Structure 1
Amino acid sequence: MTFCPNFDTLQSTILVSKTFHRVFQTRPKSITRAVAGNIVGPALPQALRVIRFPYDDYDTLDGDLSMATACPEDDKSVITAEEVEKLEENCQVVAELEDIYSLMNKDRTSKTSVLTSEESWRFRRAMYRIMLYCNQFSGTRYTEEEIELNDEEILDKIRKQRTAVLNEYPTDELQQLHSVVQFLRSIFISLSTTDLDFIDSLLSTGPANALRAWQDRSYEVIQDDVEFTMFDDEDDAPLFEGYFSLPFENIWTERKVTPPKEDDPASKWILDQVNGANDTCSQCATPGGLKLYTEANWDRFPIILANLLKKNIKRNQSITQSFFTATAHLVASDALGPFIGDLFDFALKIKPEFDGWERTDSYCLTCLTRFLEEHLWIWFREERIKGGWTPPEDCWYGWNCRTQIHKRYHADTKNHLCAPIKGDPA
């Protein structure tokens, strides 16, 4: 029974016979904990600590720093049925975040984690500790009256409590936690084209919300989960300012430890090795490492597809309106990756100059962008024809035509999804 991979299997085993059921009744605590360990792994103590918060209804603003040591990680109390459900839910979140972390920091060619068992333990232990921290210091745990007028005395108590909580961990494990915070920060940064002034506010919503934002490809999906206005540029959010950085700074100073650099990668202190860190683009040999694009991360291609239409086609409203409709299912979805893969297969039939470009290779942003620009408009033309569209007479200037931009009649009555036969094709 202790080797059951999950609790559904354990339940099925218990129901097989009365004998098995009696065996379970003799050791329910140890069997349940063993199966929980099979699900969560060696980070089970940290995972249990998350689901057992809050502890004894402590007052977060009473100035007492005991929350730092409340419910220790070596708690061996019985795991209840309700806790089992929460364990499995949180474990799924952490596992999916590990997959994302691995893709971004360990190996760009695999959508599932390739972290070693030791690396995975470091990552998951830190992630559960971050979960706990965000639960302890969630914005929804304070009333507006408690923090109104930016009461410095109250804010100072909260900051001291945050420092006390993180100060319980050894320096090496705290450095690992810092790396995982950097990873969560990178998720939110990747979802915005501008700097996020409220990044600390986003981090305070916790790892589960970081995962939701990644999956939805927008941090706006988590706004409804936050009570306080923190997404308005005109409003300050002193409660969240330096949410992690201030406690870290206090601890590094107290322990006389060299603080991490701002540009330290999220792989530092977590990973022992990075796969393909020195790889170059398959076409232009530009160094790229983990920033290169492969089938595993094509769905995160950062450029809007309509902007990749050839030359002036992208400014032809007659074409772009139809193009948006044809590619709407690809926007912010996992369907984009397979679509780009199919485009590679399509390219072999129409562009001999791209012979040797394989979907299994790695490409820098410039090369992959050029590939898409050369093939996307041709694919769209073929798709329109398959859908019953009959192309009108070709415009002599094709995709390079400037008239299609400002004269709708010309754009509607001439085909510009073609190569120019007049004018400068460059």
Structure 2
Amino acid sequence: MSGRWSAPPYGQIGPALPQALRLARCQAAGLIRRPVHELPDEADIMEQEISREEERLLVSNAQVVAALEDLFSWRNKDRLSRTSKLSYAESWRFQRALYRMWLLSYLYGMPPPGSARESEEYQGEELERSIPKQKDFLMKFSSRELLQIRYITFFLRTVAGCVSGEFAGSLDVYDFEGLYQFAGPHAILRCYEEGAADPLRVWKFIGDYGPYEGFLTKPLMSILEERKFDVHQNGTPFYKALLDQRNGEDDKCTRCKSVNDAIGMRSGVNLWNETNWDYLRCYYTNLSESVTLSLGKNRTETKLHKALALACKDISRFMHQMFNNKREPYTQWRKADWVCLECLGMFISETIPFWWLDRKQLEG
């Protein structure tokens, strides 16, 4: 990288500067729903002059990407650190894939509030027109690079899962992943930070099947199928698409001593104790599902489900309360123990009745 690109603000952007600049340039120029041949190309974009607005967008977008990289590293690389532990090569792969995914979302996804696109009849018919453009956009990348983007979408789906419970009973969303990619990384990060689904509600046409159905994933998987690309990579772990290694991957659950989770994947990165309970809100979006069958059928306990809905808002506090109400066979459990999701789920399900009894006694 030349001295020009090493100086502020460019040196602060990260290793995927061409992809970052391409996104910023398209945003600054308002290039919406354009075919790929009308977009600036990654190969020569750094040869062109940069405007002040593009510089501003570069810095603003980089803050979103850095925050998401910290989250990604914490949940996929090293559960002991909330700041990125990705190597330079891993960070480059992550950021390159994220900026590319973000650009596709900007071009063909959810319009910003108040824009002309927001008021258009952007339903299934419009989606059908955008799918070929999405596919043309993605065709420019190698199969390996598409697999990296796919891994990013899985990660973002988990992050956005923290607010999926807000749609229960009020909105039938049949493709949550499509909705999240349609909204884009910036909206997903806001959902996570604010603990609310408002960034996904800015568009008045969301509901049932919408223009987000199959967004990004449908054309991406279509390309890989046409190329006869083995997405399973002969049994190679999916995370290898972005990461070279994961810290603590072989750590065992303190309780069941298993090194694999319920679906046969290495569980070391996916272990939980009081240091990362707050992230459980991305998994436990509806704690009522953890209620035992007999208690859940009791019509007098409708207040319980409301209390559990509130508990989802502060899952870390809820987990501390769980440990304060533990009974056999969990009396020896410690908050510092690293436990897999399967064991944790059984603990929560069997402890909720005692937690609820304690709450009712405190309330008189």
TM-score (norm 1): 0.63
Quick one: which of 159, 162, 172 aligns to 2:134? 162
Deviation at 1:317, TM superposition (A): 6.4
Corresponding residue for residue 25 of structure 2: 52
Query: Aligned letter for 1:166?
Result: L
Indicate yes or no: 2:202 matched with 1:225: yes
Indicate yes or no: 2:153 matched with 1:181: yes
Quick one: which of 125, 137, 140 aligns to 1:150? 125
Shift of the 164–87 alpha-carbon distance from structure 1 to 2, 3 Å rule, reads: same
| 8 Å CA contact retained: 2:163, 2:195 | yes
Shift of the 359–187 alpha-carbon distance from structure 1 to 2, 3 Å rule, reads: same
Query: Aligned letter for 1:96?
Result: A
Unpaired segments of 5 or more residues in structure 1? 1-28, 392-426
Quick one: which of 184, 206, 213 aligns to 1:206? 184
Q: Which whole-Å deviations, capped at 9, do the CAs of 1:309-360 have from their partners, x for residues lacking one?
A: 9x96996969968x94xx9985413xx436645875x68xx97986653322
Shift of the 356–118 alpha-carbon distance from structure 1 to 2, 3 Å rule, reads: farther
| 8 Å CA contact retained: 2:131, 2:219 | yes
Quick one: which of 37, 40, 62 aligns to 1:66? 37
| 8 Å CA contact retained: 2:32, 2:107 | no
Deviation at 1:166, TM superposition (A): 1.7
Corresponding residue for residue 275 of structure 2: 296
Shift of the 204–72 alpha-carbon distance from structure 1 to 2, 3 Å rule, reads: farther
Query: Aligned letter for 1:92?
Result: Q
Shift of the 343–113 alpha-carbon distance from structure 1 to 2, 3 Å rule, reads: farther
Distance 2:215 2:355 in 1: 49
Q: What is the RMSD of the two structures over their aligned residues, measured on CA atoms? A: 4.4
Deviation at 1:279, TM superposition (A): 3.5
* SS of equivalent residue, structure 1 residue 131: helix
Corresponding residue for residue 36 of structure 1: 9
Distance 2:213 2:237 in 1: 22
Higher RCO structure (Cα 8 Å, ≥6 apart): 2
Indicate yes or no: 2:335 matched with 1:359: yes
Deviation at 1:126, TM superposition (A): 0.8
Shift of the 130–316 alpha-carbon distance from structure 1 to 2, 3 Å rule, reads: same
* SS of equivalent residue, structure 1 residue 115: coil
**Equivalence map 1:381-396=2 (5 Å):** 381=358
Quick one: which of 63, 67, 71 aligns to 1:100? 71
Corresponding residue for residue 215 of structure 1: 193
Distance 1:117 1:359 in 2: 34
Query: Aligned letter for 1:121?
Result: W
Shift of the 266–55 alpha-carbon distance from structure 1 to 2, 3 Å rule, reads: farther
Deviates more, 1:33-42 or 1:376-385: 376-385
Aligned length: 340
Distance 1:100 1:201 in 2: 20
Shift of the 78–295 alpha-carbon distance from structure 1 to 2, 3 Å rule, reads: farther
Deviation at 1:51, TM superposition (A): 1.4
Distance 1:209 1:169 in 2: 25
Shift of the 68–171 alpha-carbon distance from structure 1 to 2, 3 Å rule, reads: farther
| 8 Å CA contact retained: 1:205, 1:226 | no
Q: Which whole-Å deviations, capped at 9, do the CAs of 1:90-120 have from their partners, x for residues lacking one?
A: 2221122122222332233433332222212
Deviates more, 1:86-95 or 1:239-248: 239-248
Shift of the 103–266 alpha-carbon distance from structure 1 to 2, 3 Å rule, reads: farther
| 8 Å CA contact retained: 1:180, 1:266 | no
TM-score (norm 2): 0.72
Unpaired segments of 5 or more residues in structure 2? 262-266
